[in-house]
Amino acid sequence: MPTTEEVGKRLKEVRKQREMTLKEVAESSGMSPTHISEIERGKTSPTVGALRRIAGALGRDTAFFVEDQPLPRVSVVKKEDRETVLLKGEGDAFVSARALTSGIPAGRVKLVLVSEDKGGTLSAHSHEGEEAIVVVAGQARVTVDDEEFIIEPGDCLHYSAKCKHTIKFAGDGKNKALWIRVSPGAIRW
């Protein structure tokens, strides 16, 4: 969680980028210019309600101001910059993947590219949200609540992640798949 000073600094930077005065932000948020100035200077910590109103006036998600690391509104991950992600497999094993998304404020979508030689199983689990898998090469055997689906290249499986599910990469040679995870909450397009 950022400090009071960091929240104020982020607010001021966004206000300046949008070329807005304190008075314009105050009028749009229903707050006083003095209070907004105190927040920007780190002299006072905004309430959640105040931060929401100011964020709305600045056209930003509230989460931008309270994320540990400020995330961009638009995220681009270049092929050469993909972070390696280890997904929990069976026992002590992991399935290797590369992150295709790095996150945006209040983001709910995660996309990874799984690349496994023969084998590789994501352990059975369930959680809130949704998932989808698109097989690019090889084969995936996905079990959702005791029902098995065989997914071949070009096929897509979409399911509620509340159902107990496991994914086993079973194709001969290299298996590649796009795996999408959507956390709960409304997605605003």
Pair 87, 109 in one domain:
yes
Q: What is the pLDDT of residues 30-83, one digit of tens each?
A: 999 999 999 999 999 999 999 999 999 998 878 778 877 767 778 888 989 888
Show Cβ contacts of residue 28 under 8 Å, excluding neighbours closer than 6 positions: 56, 57
The CA–CA distances, whole Å, from 111 to 4, 28, 46, 126, 176 equal 32, 36, 33, 18, 13
Q: List the domain range (segments joined by +) for residue 54.
A: 4-66
What residue has token string 């086993």? 168
What residue has token string 């399911």? 159
Q: Which amino acid is at 101?
A: T
SS3 175: strand
Has residue 89 got a pLDDT over 80? Answer: no
Q: What is the pLDDT of residues 105-157, one digit of tens each?
A: 777 889 999 988 767 888 888 999 999 999 999 999 999 999 999 999 999 99
Pair 36, 120 in one domain:
no
Domain membership of residue 88 (yes or no) is: yes
Pair 58, 17 in one domain:
yes
